[in-house]
Every structure is written in C-alpha cells, then in structure tokens.
A and B are shown apart, each in its own frame.
Chain A
C-alpha cells in the first residue's frame, strides 16, 4: 500500500519532467506494427568495437531498429529507414542496456530483514552447491529500481561473506518468474578471502592461512572425485562415487568451465587469490580488488579479469585503501575489467552502476571506457557479448535512454528497453 503510494507520488512528480524530456513512449492513434520498435537518439553510443579494438564513434542522430527483440539495424537516421507505423521512441542519448557485473540484488532485498535476505547461507563455510536460481526473487523492488536507471542485465547470486558462498547467475531485469528472467543459469562460484569470510570464535576459517588450507583441501577432494568418476567410466568394474552436488560444481571450476570469482580487497588477500589461481590453474575472476592497483603485472600475466568494486564503495575496513582511479588504471593496463554494484549489508541496499561508472569517468576513465565497464566490457567478461553489451545487428534490443550525458548528476534516465519492450518509462 505504502509502496503504491510512493509509486503514485513519484509518478505525479515526474509528469512535468516527462513532458520536457521529449519522450513519446505511449503514442496513441496509429496502429503500430507488432514486434517492431525504433529508438532514435541525438547521440547513440553503440559501444561496438572497431577492427583495431578501439570504441566505435557514437552515432549522431542515430536509429536502432529492433524486430522481435533483436537489433536488425543500427546507424545514422540518413541510412536506416524507419518503416511507417513503427513505434518510435526518441531520446537525447541512447546507450546499450546497462550491465551490473556483480550484484546480489534479487537474493538480497530492499527491506534488509531476514525474510528478504537470501544472499548468504551461514550454516557452513563452503557450499558451492547453492544455486542462485533457487533464491532469486524476480519481484524484488530493487530490480525495478535499478531497471529505471537503465540496468537491463544483472550478474547476481550468492554474496561475499563465506569462503565459498554459492553460485551466481545472469538475468535480465524483467519477467514475472525466474525462468523468464534468466540469461545464463550458471555463471561463477563465489569465493571470499580475508576478514569478510572469517567465522565465529571456534569455527573455521578463523585465519587467512586456514582459508587457503581449506580451499586447497576442498579442491583436492573435488579432483579425486573427478578422477573416481573418470576411472569408473573407463572401467565398468569400478563403481562411480556417490553423487556429490558440491564437488560437481568444483569439478566445473577445475575444468575451467566455471570461473571462481574471488572477492578480495587487501594486498594479502589478493596475493592469496593469485597464488590459488597458479596452484590450481583455474579461471579466476578477481572481485572487489581494492588494492589490486599494486598487482597489475601479475593480473596481466595470469590473465585474471577484474570486476572492480563500485567506485563509491566505502573507504573503510578491508577497502580502506581503495581508490576511485583503479578502474582507469586497470583499463589503461589492458586488463579486462567490469564494474559491479557490489554488496552492502546496510545502505544503499543496491548501488546503481550508472552512477558508479560516472565517478570512474570523473576519476580518470574516458567516457567510453567508463561506459564500457557497465556495457560491452562487462558483457565480454561475463561471456554474454553475443547477446548484450553493445548495439549491433543480431544482439538483444536492450537500451537505456537519457536526456543528456548519462554520467552527469543532473541527467535523467528516461526509459529502459529490454528485448525491444519498453520496461520502464519513469524519468529518474
């Protein structure tokens, strides 16, 4: 009831603003062609890469044509013909739909009470079998919140806070049930090193050395499990081991199929993450990484991708030496990097990656590199660039629409489009 009141209230406030924004999301009269939509922007940032790897120049007075959810044409208005009777949306600036490269939204809810906090199971330190799919609340109001700022894709799941807290997955910020939302049902296994993953007095892990020892032992067991399966497959006389859901997940990590996302902030914890990667030869994605600016050479050498902490993350605790310039430094060094909203135990229950990338832009990133952190580079890192992250023919028709420079404090997001459907027309 209250939420409804808030919503109605906000709508009332936004009516005059919408009038000024030059948007016409709900045109009436002429019947529109089903499944076809055209988005026209004074500036369209496609976030496509040119042959030499550099960002394509933005298209001035550009058009993106979407048919049945997929981009079928993108280019300047002079070259892309908009068929008659097509629903046309106009905005000052158009970008690909934004990607939050690491969040816990949907598992973590806005109220922050037990019943809406499913991001962290504390009964054991390592539970890789926990599936994000089973805990994602597609109707969580925070999803609607970030969607209204242009976020269309969300890498979410089990939170930092246990040595192995569970799995993550990727959704679109739409749909009435999780199956309608899911883009990639299994993405990474979430691992945390350092103080955030220590347990109570008398429980393990209680030290960093213990954390590493436990992880090594667990992966050794998973390797043995895998070998037993292989042996049983090769020799019909041998029985396969009893199925172990946790080990099945870790076997996927060992095979390189599933990356291990290690949340680590301090210098010691980042070094431990690097060591673990070397020892196991697995694919590691460094998450958070407050002090990773000191390990740029090692990250490059070990081909470790980084989901950097939100730029405005609190500079305290393990993140006390975090820098708002880290994203720029990583990009300059050629390290694949994306930005996530991270995890907050208090407020804000979710950060808005648009605003976090904006600060990265103010602190050393070029406009395109900063936008890349939450679009094309994020899609690349998450292995979903065939679907999202840039506005190119064949990709999903996901877009965010703005009434000015998307990063500027006073600019509004005026619309969000997923698979060619307008999913938000709030002015925020």
Chain B
C-alpha cells in the first residue's frame, strides 16, 4: 500500500533510503509479533522429526520451521529457549463434550436444527483441562441419544469467555461444525424414538429423502420467490450434509451398525467420519474399502454396554495396517482431555506405529473436520497451534508444559493458577470467570 501511495519521479537515492527505512520498520514490526522457539525437538507430523529445531511464529501463524542451522530467526524476534523439550502440533479432539453443549431434546429422534454453539459453556473447567492436556481444537458434539442430535461446533481453544471468541468461521463467515448422528442402542428409546435398528435406519432415510426433495424444490424454483419453499432449519442442515458442506460425525459401535452407516452414506452421498467404532476390527476390510475415516475411543476395559463388549485396544493398529485414516478422541467426559496423549500411547502399546499414533492425535483429526489446511501439523502458513512437552509424547512421565493457540499461550504449567487445572485440587472444578479482554480471573 505504501509503495502505491509513493509520489512518482523521486530520485533513486530517495527510493533507496525509503526502502532501507521500510526494511528497518519491517523488522520492528516483525519484532513485535514474532516468536522463535529454539533448540526443541520438533515433531511436525507432516514431515520427519527435527532434532534441535527452530519454530518461528508470527501473527498467529507458523512462519518457518526447520533445523537450527537452516532457519534464519528474524531480527528482533522474541526467542524462547525450548531446548530439551518437544514441540508437537496442538492436539485435536474429533469428539468432545467439554463445556457440555447439548443438542436436541427428548421430543424427536431427529433434530438437526439444534446447534451446540447455543448451549456450550466455554467457561467450564473442562475447557481449562483440555488446554492443560495440549488440546487446541475440539469438535464439540451433542450426545448420542438421538439419530441426529444436532449440529456440532468446531472450537479453537483460544482464551475467551464467550463462544464467539472460540468459533472457527468459514469463508462466508459462518461458524464451522459438523452434524452428529448415532445408531445402535443409545438412540433407541420409546416412541417417537426408534425401537429397532431397522426403524432407526428407516427414520434417517426418510429424513434425508425429505431433505433431497427440499433441495430439489429450491433448485426448481430457480430463484422465483413464489416457488421457493419456506426456510426449514432442519432441512438446511441435512442439505448441507448432502452437499458435502457439513461432515457427518457418526457414533457407531457394532459391526453391523458400522456397515449401516456406510450404506446410508452411499445412498445419500454425505461425507462421514465413523466415531468410536468399537467393533471396527470385525469389519476392517469393509471400512478400508469404503474410504471412510475412523475416530477411535480408547477405554480402559471392554463393555459398559452390550454393543461395546467387543471393543478392542487393537483397533488402532488393525485400521492403520488396512490403510484407514485413524484419529482418536477423548469423548470427554468419558476420558479426560488432560490424558489425551495416553489414548494414543495405549494404541502404540497395542502395536500402532508411533508416527501413526501422533498423526491420529493431530493432522488426521484436522482432516476429519476439514481443517487440515489451517491446523494439525507444524507447517509454514498454518495456525500456530502447538503443545510443548517435557519429553516423549507417549511416555507416562511426560508433561504438557505449554499449549499455544494461534500464537497465544493458553496454558502454562509453570503458573500455579493454571497448573491447578492440570493436576486438580481445591477450586479446579469451578467454572472460570473472564473479563472482557479475555484475561483469566480467579473465581471465588
């Protein structure tokens, strides 16, 4: 902009001086918002591990990453010595209930008009615990007690006391999220809920057929206001799913339920992520052939209900070997976000590769939310979302020291007030107060 405004016809010497000044000023600007993390072990996920690496962050984005000898740290950048530490991309939880945002009520098994952003409490202690666990992005989901319980909300765990401060907006400014669906026994109840698996599928089929007709009416109307149907919020969310603009996040456990999800996907063409997938190991070939990604939960013992009886700790390795894109999720409160790394570590214990397990906590999760272009790995141009660890991501003795979202530190274990959320104790369970500028305040 400055060059455009520059008066014409000046001397070369003048231009040179201006250029030098601009360069100098440029460096000053850089110094104000550039941070370089030096000496760390960097695990970018998108590429090989970098020992003694440098990560440069500027304006909330990753500016550069590489070995110390290769990266030029901008003059004036704030340097943070991270030697002896490990930096990984911020953890992404594809299925979380932190903040307890709910969807539909008990009036109907299909309520895609409901949206968790209207119910999530971003001041909940569970969000602080998630930050303490190294999480930077969650898919905030409604429950599994409905066939379609509502729209999910993708939340960046920025510091903030309102949901708006945590939203991710699409190119048109709309908050991003998916659509939660479920089958199996959780969504079977007394009428109007389904009582069998076939009825569950039939109700879903009926809803999507209606959405197809709604969409066709709009198309046929060709902009004629007399012919355009009245706006229907339920239908709109389903049409977005049909059009691939809203990813379906589908709770499913038993082998036949998994195949039913894939059948419905093929019938209607929505994009689906299979969640939990307890019996994935029984239908691994079918899942692999479908190309559908799987977001897994790791539970310390099998069961809890009949359809989760055959859950296997080997799901991760079996799916990985079959070439399926695998992520993990906490399902927080089911498992604790502070120990999300542990879920992947237990999958490593059962044979999954370390590389695959770390990807499953980060980039694969981003892909399942359609956000791999902006987060999930340590690559220049992506959001500066990362966690600083005291050591190996898959060791029980490793601590999450810091969590950064878009270049801002949202968790610092060295601060006693924040450490409380990491370890627990008096006051750790209280929801947090924030003032207008997003700085955390003690609530007593």
Chain A residues close to B by CB (< 8 Å): 2-3, 5-6, 9-10, 13, 17, 109-113, 141-142, 145-146, 291, 293-294, 312, 314-316, 319-325, 344, 346-352, 355, 358-359, 361-363, 407-412, 428
Contact = CB atoms under 8 A, between A and B. Distances in A.
Contacts of B336: 312, 314-315
B394 to A, nearest CB: 6
A347 B303 contact: yes
Contacts of A113: 305-306
Interface stretch (B18-26, B194-202, B424-432): B424-432
Given A2-B310, A13-B351, A321 B301 contact: no
The 7 A-B residue pairs with the shortest CB-CB distance, nearest first, are: A320-B429, A110-B303, A347-B304, A409-B345, A323-B424, A348-B300, A323-B425
Interface in B115-135: 125, 129
Given A6-B312, A9-B312, A409-B396, A111 B301 contact: no
Contact of A409 (B282, B310, B314, B394): B394
A325 B397 CA distance: 14
23 contacts: A10-B314, A13-B350, A110-B301, A111-B305, A111-B306, A112-B304, A112-B305, A141-B303, A293-B425, A315-B336, A315-B429, A322-B428, A323-B423, A323-B425, A323-B428, A324-B423, A346-B304, A348-B300, A349-B302, A350-B301, A361-B397, A409-B394, A428-B313
Contacts of B396: 358-359, 361-362, 407-409
Contacts of A322: 424, 428-429
B349 A409 contact: yes
B429 A316 contact: yes
A352 B300 contact: yes
A146 B424 CA distance: 27
B57 interface: no
Contacts of A408: 395-397
Nearest to A6: B310
Interface string B327-346: 00000011010010010011
Q: Give the residue among A10, A13, A344, A409 with the most B Cβ atoms within 10 A.
A: A409
Interface string B395-431: 1110100000000000000000000000111111110
Contacts of B208: none
Contact of A410 (B305, B394, B430): B394
B428 A347 contact: no
Given A9-B312, A320-B429, A321-B425, A111 B333 contact: no
A330 to B, nearest CB: 14
A314 B342 CA distance: 15
B93 interface: no
A92 to B, nearest CB: 15
A10 to B, nearest CB: 7
B303 A410 contact: no
A351 B334 CA distance: 13
A113 B303 CA distance: 10
B15 interface: no
| Contact residues of A: prevailing secondary structure | loop
B234 to A, nearest CB: 30
B349 A411 contact: yes
A320 B428 contact: yes
B348 interface: yes
B281 interface: yes
A113 B306 CA distance: 8
Contacts of A359: 339, 396
Given A323-B425, A410-B394, A145 B302 contact: yes
B169 to A, nearest CB: 31
A240 B322 CA distance: 73
B91 to A, nearest CB: 15
B433 interface: no
A327 to B, nearest CB: 12
Contacts of B394: 409-410
Nearest to B313: A428
Contacts of A350: 300-301
B47 to A, nearest CB: 23
B424 A142 contact: no
A361 B395 CA distance: 12
Contacts of B309: 2-3, 110-111
Contacts of A346: 304, 334
A27 B414 CA distance: 52
B202 to A, nearest CB: 26
A312 B339 contact: yes
Interface in B24-63: none
Given A315-B336, A355-B300, A363-B423, A17 B305 contact: no
Contacts of B313: 428
Contacts of B395: 408-410
Nearest to B427: A321
Contacts of B306: 111, 113
A110 to B, nearest CB: 3
A5 B336 CA distance: 30
Contacts of B304: 110, 112, 344, 346-349
B308 interface: yes
B371 interface: no
Nearest to A146: B301
Nearest to B345: A409
